[in-house]
Every structure is written in C-alpha cells, then in structure tokens.
Amino acid sequence: MSAPTTARGIAAEVRSGARRAVDVVEEHLVRIEAHEGDVHAFNLVLADAARAQAAAIDEAVAAGRPPGPLAGVPVALKDNLCTRGIPTTCSSRILEGWKPPYDATVVQRLAAAGAVFVGKTNLDEFAMGSSTENSAFGPTANPHDLSRVPGGSSGGSAAAVAAGFAPLALGSDTGGSIRQPAALCGVVGAKPTYGLVSRYGLVAFASSLDQIGPFALDVADAALLLDVLAGPDRRDSTCLAETAPSASARLGEGVDGLRIGVVRELADAEGLSAEVRGRLTEAADALSAAGAKVAEVSIPAAVYGLSAYYLIAPAEASSNLARYDGVRYGLRAGRAAGTGDDPADVSAMYTQTRSAGFGAEVKRRIMLGTYALSAGYYDAYYGKAQQVRTLMVRDFEAAYRDFDVLLAPTAPGTAFELGAKTADPLTMYLNDVCTIPSNLVGHPAMSVPFGGGSDGLPLGVQVLAPALGEAVMFQVAAALEACAPPVPVSPMRGGSR
C-alpha cells in the first residue's frame, strides 16, 4: 500500500507514529531537488529548517504530546508572508534579502498546528499579475507543461502543490490570485471571506481586497487548512471578531435541496473559451443530478468588476507601496547597491531606488493608482469605482436571497504559453474577469478542478458563497469534486484522479 499523499492522511500517520515526519519531509525534498530546477516554484527552499521542524514533531509524538492537526505536513508559503529571520521578498528587488523580525499570524498558526515549512514560493512582484512572469527572480512554469504559465499571482504556490513539492500551500488573493492559478494547475484554491483570516504579516498590495487562503490537492485538505488559519486576531483590525463555522463541517452532506445559481454575466464573460463554458454547463448539470436546484441568476454590476478593480486595487497599491523609499528597509540606490552613483539628495535617492527596485508592472499600477487618486480625478475614477463596488454588493445580496451558492468559471481557458500575454497588459488583466467580483464584495469563493481541455491541461469551476458561507461553499465543492470528470495530474506527481 502506498503512503498517503493527502495532508489528512500524512498527519494521521505521523500522529499515530506509523510514519515519521522526517521521512515525509525528506520524500518531498527529494522531489523538489529533482524538479525545482524546471519549475522554479520557490524563491527559497528551507531544507535544513524543514528537517529540524520535522524532527521536533517526531520528538513530540514520541513524548506523547499532541503534535497538531497538520502534524508533519509539508507546506509551501507564498513569499509575501512574513517569516521571522527568513527572507521575504515579494519577488521584488526592492525587498531582496529583507528578513522580517516577526512571523505572520498564519505562519504562527501553521507552526502551532504541526506543519513543516519547505519553502517560500515565487509570485508576481507584490502579487501584481496573473501568470507569475512578473517576478524579479524569473517566471514559474506550470508542472503540467513547462512551456505554460501556472497562473498568478500565487503561481509558485499552485505549482508547488501540483508538482507534489508539498500537499498544502498558502497564497494571497486580491483579484483571483489563488483561484486562477489553482484552476490552471489543477488543484483546489480558496479565497475566504474578507476578515476571516488575519492579514497580519501579509505584505500589503490592496488592503481592502487582499485575503490569505489555501491550496490543496482536494477539497477536504483545503477545508482542513482553512480551519487552521481562520479566527480572530487582535493584531489585524480588519479581522472578524467572531469565529465562523468550520469549513469542514458539512463536507459529506451532498447538495440535495440546495439552491445553486449560475451567474449569467460570468458565464458569458469576455474571452471565455468554449471548453470553459462547456465544463461549467457539465458542472451545473452534475449538481442538478445530485439533487440541487440549479437555475441561472443575474449579477448586473459584475460586468463592471474588471474596470472597478483596476482603479481600486492600483489606488490602494499606490498608497501601500509608498513605504518602499530606501530609508527604512530593503534596497537603497547607490554605489553600494550596484545601482549607479550615490544620489545627490533625498528626492534623487527615492527616484533611483524605486526605478531600480520595482518592475514594470508594479510601476504601471502605482502610476495608474496615483493618477486615480489625484486632485481633479478622484471623484471621476476612484469615487465612481467605489460606487460600482456598492452596486455589486447589492446585486450579490439580492442573488443570495434566492440561492445558497453561485457557480461560475474560474479562468477564461487553460494555461497559456509563457510570454504569450506579457506584451499586452489588458489581455493579461482579462484572466481575472471571473474572480474579481468576489474580492470587491468580500465574499468567499473557491476553484475546484473539473476535467481538462483538449490540450490535456486542467480546467476549474468556481463556487461562490455569501459572507461567512464557507461551510456551504465547501459542501458544494466536495460534491462537485465527487462528480468531476478525470482531472489531469502533472507528470511530476504521477498517478491519476
């Protein structure tokens, strides 16, 4: 009998003593060593630290101390989550080599649950992108096809799970940055309700949109990881004070009698392939056959989601990234940094530091956001975008009066080729057309693998739920997973699903 590959199976065997955490970690480090050079899922592999963590877990098991619900499970961390004494770069030259003096709350909770950190994963710089090609340290490849992107911005985390480097990973989702790469890599990815998971220690992109969430090989593992992460945190003022129902609470209950709405505006969104539309129809039909009441629903304001997002998110990014000035931490331009002559004054130092430290996409969004917030344009652009956001909240609230969850595509198609969209930012932005609405309204949403395309690459279907509706969302996701067509598995992992 082969050893379990799910997080649940690994943790159960480590807790029982049937398997050692050090052996689990070594198996994953061997796979990383074999394939990381091709994939580049990581900015930093934490091999020695992982071995030490695993040894401590084995000691706890031997001593009869409870090792936690994720005992010995390897986890990959997106490199915008602060880890004490370990470089956290956001895949940007401006933070290259910076070592935070504290851990993010989610990192602390994972450690307390017995997880083992195998590395910090690559991402689009400051989480701005849909392909993980904007990283200052080079792109990540899709483990299913190394000529394709893994999606973004959390492409390194999605690729790490798809390649078998870790059964679990953390990402952040500002406009689809967990769900879109999950779909392209054939794994499960979930964005929780805004405020359900603490953002303390997440390097900010757009503070009213950012959320941390799980990647996993299956729905039950993603629910387990979210349950470990969720909960109040006094260090994050936007974190909800109440504890939400467990994401795992209703996994086996099926969908009989549930009301599921297929979002017309997202099903008909610009750029969707015929295969994506077909898989969405198959998913709706499968849920109907399982006993759900499925019907079409309209969210009229959703058609403006992309436009509103690309005003709100860059505006918040413009504010958040102003702190990278070369004074307090990170890169500082000058001869010592190898970025030219020493600046003549503070203004020149700011200019040289940011010119050298930020990549093209980050600069583009900072300029767009600064313009949207500037005098004379604030009301016309940023103000209008916030009004659209309010309309969208109202439209979703109306939909959830008639439906328990909603169904939509995740990404417009399967993974596209590396370099195919880098020259056209607007085409790249369209990759998030179906995922952005959930960030704007703060509701949970997740991508579930649902078969593949004619190119043999995975496709995903998105389940959306009202605020704090994670339990019913995962309930439907589990039913969807159970009736899904065969999902492609990357050659690095082998086997089938």
What are the DSSP calls for 438-485, one per residue? HHHHT--EEEEEEEE-TTS-EEEEEEE--TT-HHHHHHHHHHHHHTPP
End-to-end CA distance of the chain: 17
pLDDT of 1 over the 50 cut: no
Residues 6+ apart with CB under 8 A from 395: 298, 299, 300, 301, 302
Q: Which of 199, 207, 432, 439 is nearest to 316 (CA)?
A: 207
Q: d(Cα 216, Cα 188) in Å, to the nearest integer?
A: 5
Whether 496 sits among the annotated catalytic residues: the reply is no
Q: How many residues does the chain have?
A: 497
State yes or no: is 172 an active-site residue: no
> What is the average pLDDT value for the chain, to the nearest integer?
95
pLDDT at residue 230 is higher than 60? yes
Q: Identify the CA nearest to 259 among candidates 219, 297, 220, 302.
A: 297
Structure tokens at 215: 């990647």
154 contacts: CB under 8 Å, gap ≥ 6: 78, 121, 123, 127, 132, 169, 171, 172, 173, 177, 178, 181, 189, 215
Residues 6+ apart with CB under 8 A from 287: 255, 260, 294, 407, 476, 479, 480, 483
Contact 213, 191 (CB under 8 A): yes
Reported confidence tier of residue 495, pLDDT bands at 50, 70, 90: very low
The predicted-structure confidence for 83-97, as pLDDT tens digits, reads as follows 999 999 999 999 988
Confidence of residue 337 (pLDDT cuts 50, 70, 90): low
Strand order, beta sheet including 293-297: 42-45, 116-121, 74-78, 168-173, 211-216, 188-191, 445-452, 458-464, 405-409, 259-263, 293-297
What's the pLDDT score for residue 272?
97
- pLDDT at position 26 over 70: yes
- Give pLDDT, residue 326: 85
Q: What is the pLDDT of residue 3?
A: 67
434-460 residue pLDDT tens: 999 999 999 999 999 999 999 999 999
Q: Is residue 239 over pLDDT 70?
A: yes
Ramachandran area for residue 375 (φ above 0: left; ψ -120 to 50: alpha; else beta): beta
| Helix (H/G/I), strand (E/B), else coil: 200 | coil
What pLDDT digit, counting tens, does each position of 302-313 carry? 999 999 999 999
- The whole-angstrom separation of Cα 144 and Cα 409 is 20
Catalytic residue among 91, 153, 172, 198: 153
135 is known as an active-site residue: no
The amino acid at 407: L
Instruction: Write down the catalytic residue from 130, 177, 248, 447.
Output: 177
Superfamily of domain 7-262+268-299+398-482: Amidase signature (AS) domain (3.90.1300.10)
Distance of CA 91 to the CA centre of its chain: 15
pLDDT at 342 over 90: no
pLDDT in tens, 41-86: 999 999 999 999 999 999 999 999 999 999 999 999 999 999 999 9
Percent over 90 (pLDDT), the chain: 90
Angle at 341 between CA 338 and CA 342, to 5 degrees: 100
Residues 78, 120, 191, 421: which is the catalytic one? 78
Please write the tens of the pLDDT for every residue from 113-163: 999 999 999 999 999 999 999 999 999 999 999 999 999 999 999 999 999
The pLDDT tens digits for 381-391 are 999 999 999 99
Q: Is the pLDDT of residue 270 over 50?
A: yes
Residue of 217, 211, 136 whose CA lies nearest to 171:
211
Alpha-carbon distance 82 to 218, whole Å? 26
DSSP 222-252: HHHHHHHH-S--TT-TTS-SSPPPPTTTTTT
Q: Are 236 and 467 in contact (CB under 8 A)?
A: no
pLDDT surpasses 50 at 496: no
Distance CA 391, CA 436 (A): 14
Q: What is the pLDDT of residues 462-473, one digit of tens each?
A: 999 999 999 999
Q: Do residues 413 and 457 lie in contact, with contact meaning Cβ atoms separated by under 8 Å?
A: no
- d(C-alpha 155, C-alpha 143), whole Å: 11
Q: What is the pLDDT of residues 170-186, one digit of tens each?
A: 999 999 999 999 999 99
Beta-bridged to residue 148, according to DSSP, are: 417
